[in-house]
Amino acid sequence: MDEYARVLDRVETELAALSRMDDHGRDVWADSLGDLLESGCLNQADAERLVSRLVALAVTEATYEVRESALHAVSNAGVRYAIPVQVLEPLASRIDAFEPRLLEYVLFCLAATHDEESRAHVEPFLDHPAAGVREEAAQAIAELDAVRPGLRD
């Protein structure tokens, strides 16, 4: 078994055990997946599959720290991989349910897709009461503007 196969096997084993982990275990698991995604060592399909699992965890998990670790991992993936906006749809459809700090992650993740579809989810937060959310929304719009056809030099 090569190194890549060993990494995927370990991830699959942890995915299977996820429902039996305590809060701390799920938090550490999401954090370690973030490191793996940040390394850029996965192929695109495997990265998307892991991001999909992390997105599911971010929208269903009751524990704040676990949701934050999951969203941080998804944001790491968005730096290394072209994550389709469809993979992030569960975040977008529940965007109003996130606490301000977690909402900042969601806005970053949506902008990292470079998909114009994300704009409609981001724009309402330009007027959010929390300064950090407003700033992240403005940065997200700037990121989306930077990749719009016709706006590049």
pLDDT digits (tens, 9 = 90+) for 61-106: 999 999 999 999 999 999 999 999 999 999 999 999 999 999 999 9
Name the DSSP class of 85.
G
- Measured CA to CA, the distance from residue 133 to residue 124 in angstroms comes to 10
User: Which residues lie closer than 8 Å to 117 by C-beta, 6 or more apart?
Assistant: 85
Copy the structure tokens of residue 93.
């459809």
Provide the residue range defining the domain that includes 11: 1-83
Instruction: Give the C-alpha distances (Å, rounded to integers) separating 67 from 17, 32, 57, 116, 145.
Output: 17, 14, 7, 26, 28
Concatenating the DSSP letter of every residue in 89-134 gives HHHHHTGGGS-HHHHHHHHHHHHHTT-GGGHHHHGGGGG-SSHHHH
C-alpha closest to that of 77 among 44, 115, 101, 104: 44
Contact between 97 and 131 under an 8 Å Cβ cutoff? The reply is: no
Q: How confident is the model at residue 58 (pLDDT cuts 50, 70, 90)?
A: very high
- Average pLDDT taken over every residue of the chain: 92
Q: Among the three residues 28, 62, 83, which one is the final residue of a domain in this structure?
A: 83
- One-letter amino acid of 26: R
Confidence (pLDDT) at 150 = 53
Q: Based on the fold, state whether residues 18 and 77 are members of the same structural domain.
A: yes
Q: How confident is the model at residue 149 (pLDDT cuts 50, 70, 90)?
A: low
Copy the structure tokens of residue 138.
């403005």
Q: Based on the fold, state whether residues 41 and 60 are members of the same structural domain.
A: yes
Number of domains in the chain: 2
pLDDT digits (tens, 9 = 90+) for 99-137: 999 999 999 999 999 999 999 999 999 999 999 999 999
Q: Based on the fold, state whether residues 75 and 96 are members of the same structural domain.
A: no
CATH code where residue 152 lies: 1.25.10
User: What backbone phi and psi angles, to 5 degrees, belong to 137?
Assistant: -65, -45
Confidence (pLDDT) at 16 = 82
Q: Based on the fold, state whether residues 100 and 75 are members of the same structural domain.
A: no
